[in-house]
Each structure stands twice: as C-alpha cells, then as structure tokens.
Amino acid sequence: MHWPVLWQRFCGSGFSRELWHYAALRASRLKPLPHRPTMPELPEVETTRRGIVPHVVGRRVVEARLRRPDLRWPIPSAIRKILVGQRIEDVQRRAKYLLLHTQAGSALLHLGMSGSLRVLPQITLPGTHDHVDLVMDSGQMLRFNDPRRFGCLLWQAPGETHELLRHLGPEPLDDGFDGDYLFARSRGRSAAVKSFLMDQRIVVGVGNIYVAEALFESGVRPSRLAGRVTRERYHAIAAAIRRILAHAIERGGTTLRDFLRPDGEPGYFEQELYVYGRHGEACKVCGSAIKATRTQQRSSFYCPNCQR
C-alpha cells in the first residue's frame, strides 16, 4: 500500500501540512545525490542517535516485537525478559554501536551494512525487512529495518562491557585522539597507513570513505607505511579525520526529521568527496586523474600528485 494512504488511515484526516512538507522532501530526493553511502558510517550512526534520543530517552519499553530470532547473531532472550518494562535512561554511541541504557542493562545495536532506525506510531504496519519494534509507553516505537541483516541487537549486563566493545580504540572526536597518539601507536608498524587508521583497535569509526578523504586532505598517500609517517603528518591526518567526521555529522543534523518518516529511506546525507569513488576523474585541487588501487577487496582512492 502506498504510504500516504496508510498515513491518512492512521491520522484519520486528509493531507496535512506535515504531509505536504514530506511530499516536497520526497520530491527533492529524486534528484541524484553526488554520493550516497551504502553503509551507515560513524556520522550516520551519530545522526541516528541524535534523531532517536528525544523520542526514547525517559520512555519505558512496553513491548519488544521480534519478527525473527536473529539478525547477524541470535537476539538474546534478555531483550524480551529484561528490557521490556525498563525505562531508557540514555542512548550512547560507541564506535558504530548504539547503546540503549537502562538500570537493568543495555541493549546494544549495530546497523550493519544496511540497517536503519525509525520512530513511528506503534500501529504502523511492518514491511518486509522491519525485524524489530521496541514499543514505548508514548505509543511510539523504535523500528529496526535491515534488509541485509548484518546488523545486530544484543544485550550488555549492567557494569559490564560487551565483548564487542572491549578492545576498541578511542573515539576520533574525543580529546584523547590526536597526532601524538597516532604517532606513538604507529611506531614500528609495517602496515599501510590506510589500514592502520581503519584498525578499530587504533581508532574507531574511520571507514573507507573517511580514511580516503582524510588522507587526501592531509596529503598522505594511503599506501605509505604507518611506521614511516612523521609526527607532523599524523597531526594533519588526525585534524583531517576530526574535521571531516564533524562536518558530516553537522550535515546529518539537517536530516533528523527523517527519523519520523514512515518510508524506508535511512538518514543518509550527501557528502562532498574529493577522492572516494572518483577513480579516473580530475582531482578538484590539481586536475590530475584520481587513481584507485585494490587491496584486500577494498579500493583506495588517491591523487598521485597531491598525496605523497
């Protein structure tokens, strides 16, 4: 069924102002975007967190509708047995995980390759890939949609750190992350600087897009050995990572209302890209052709002139 029909059925009224606004937004979506990431990266997860916070924090979970027993991993029984009845006190992000904290423990959620969260009236009919609904005492629910099912919903007992979070490096936007830190951690490393930066034990949430863009901005070639990059250049790299991620999160802020929309579009936002996905195109700074190399099934994009 087409969404406006559903919407009108639930609202019991004709086209509202909100709906017109939504239709306009939807029309604007038809224009091709310069780049739409296929996988939620740190900025999308942080935007998701900010989008759901006003609707779930302070609310009690009254029902957990699980339409399948597993996502990437089995959904633990604690979600039904412990989470239901609890009040959500805070929503925290760690790397690309979201933690819904309650006094009895925390639900740990990862969006995987294709997951998204929506806040919807609890009577909204589920679609094919709407696997989990957490219904709140407000009459709204947090709906988890994930076509590819690489996402997960797990449980963390109070006072414990889930195994998946135990060995994670610092957050790139926290104070502890800077050039000195990267310089110290990289000494003696023979890995390429790109894989070093994408190692979650070194720093979390720097995905393929952001590492490519940060290395371009700091003028460092992705294949350079991590152990041979100078302190000065690591300062430039850390600054670029922080600036690019913060900028992406800021842009994501304009999509916050998307979390209340009934269709399946996740809250992604376009990005301004200099090298990622631009193989063969002209560098926006010097005009040289952007190069791509492929290692371990991941492409590295760089400008052979601007990055040394």
Q: How far apart are CA 77 and CA 155, in angstroms?
A: 9
| Ordered DSSP codes for 117-144 | EEEEETTPPP-TTEEEEEEETTSEEEEE
CA nearest to 300, candidates 214, 229, 222, 216: 222
Catalytic residue, chosen from 41, 44, 213, 217, is 41
Q: Does 303 bind Zn ion (CB under 5 A)?
A: yes
Q: Of the listed pieces 76-84, 102-110, 161-169, 284-292, which binds Zn ion according to CB under 5 A?
A: 284-292
5 is written with which tokens? 């029909």
The bridge status of strand 105-110 relative to strand 116-121 is unpaired
Q: Among 286, 295, 298, 308, which residue sits at the site for Zn ion (rule: CB under 5 A)?
A: 286
Catalytic residue, chosen from 59, 93, 96, 118, is 96
Closest CB to Zn ion among 95 and 236? 236
Which residue carries 């029902």 as its tokens? 63
Distance of closest approach, residue 303 Cβ to Zn ion, in angstroms: 3
Closest CB to Zn ion among 168 and 289? 289
In terms of DSSP H, where are the helices of 218-277?
Answer: 231-252
| Backbone phi, psi, residue 21, to 5° | -60, -40
Closest CB to Zn ion among 60 and 284? 284
Q: Of the listed pieces 25-33, 233-241, 259-267, 286-294, which binds Zn ion according to CB under 5 A?
A: 286-294
Closest CB to Zn ion among 200 and 299? 299
Q: Of the listed pieces 104-112, 130-138, 259-267, 295-303, which binds Zn ion according to CB under 5 A?
A: 295-303
The bridge status of strand 90-94 relative to strand 97-102 is antiparallel
Helix (H, G, I), strand (E, B) or coil at 23: helix
Q: Please say if 40 is a catalytic residue.
A: yes
Handedness of CA 228, 231, 232, 238 (dihedral sign): positive
Catalytic residue, chosen from 9, 36, 298, 308, is 298
Q: Of the listed pieces 28-36, 81-89, 120-128, 275-283, which binds Zn ion according to CB under 5 A?
A: 275-283
Interactions with Zn ion, residue window 31-60 (CB under 5 A): none
Q: Exposure pattern of 273-302 as b/e (b: 16+ CB <10 Å)?
A: bbbbbbeeeebeeeeeebbbeeeeeeebbb
Q: Among 144, 217, 283, 291, which residue sits at the site for Zn ion (rule: CB under 5 A)?
A: 283
Q: How many residues does the chain have?
A: 308
Q: Please say if 298 is a catalytic residue.
A: yes
Q: Does 289 bind Zn ion (CB under 5 A)?
A: no
Q: Please say if 41 is a catalytic residue.
A: yes
Helix (H, G, I), strand (E, B) or coil at 157: coil
Q: Of the listed pieces 69-77, 182-190, 253-261, 279-287, which binds Zn ion according to CB under 5 A?
A: 279-287
Q: Among 285, 289, 292, 299, which residue sits at the site for Zn ion (rule: CB under 5 A)?
A: 285
Q: Which residue is nearest to Zn ion (CB)?
A: 283
Closest CB to Zn ion among 92 and 288? 288
Closest CB to Zn ion among 42 and 212? 212
Q: How far apart are CA 17 and CA 1, in angstroms?
A: 21
Q: How far apart are CA 303 and CA 290, in angstroms?
A: 5
Q: Does 225 bind Zn ion (CB under 5 A)?
A: no
CA nearest to 259, candidates 83, 105, 56: 56
* Chain positions contacting Zn ion, by CB under 5 A: 283, 285-286, 288, 303, 305-306
Q: Which residues are catalytic?
A: 40-41, 96, 298
